[in-house]
Amino acid sequence: MSDWEIRPLDPSTWEAFAALVVKHNGIFGGCWCTYFHQGMCEGLGESYEGNRAAKERLVRAGQTHAALVFDGDAAVGWAEFGSPDELPNIHHRKQYDAVGDPPPDYRITCIFVDRDYRRRGLVSVALQGALDLIATAGGGVVEGYPHDTAGQKRKSSSFLYNGTRAVYERAGFTFVRTKGKGNTVMRTVVG
Runs of H (alpha helix) within 40-177: 48-60, 93-99, 122-136, 165-170
> pLDDT tens digits for the chain (191 residues)?
468 999 999 999 999 999 999 999 888 778 888 888 876 666 667 788 888 999 999 999 999 999 999 999 999 999 999 999 999 988 888 888 888 889 999 999 999 999 999 989 999 999 999 999 999 999 999 999 998 876 565 555 555 678 899 999 999 999 999 988 888 999 999 99
The DSSP bridge partners found for residue 81 are 65, 108
Q: What are the structural domain ranges in the chain?
A: 5-190
7: enclosing H helix or E strand? strand 5-8
Fold topology of 5-190: Aminopeptidase (3.40.630)
β-strand 5-8 against 65-71: which pairing, if any?
antiparallel
Report the distance separating Cα 155 and Cα 28, nearest Å: 16
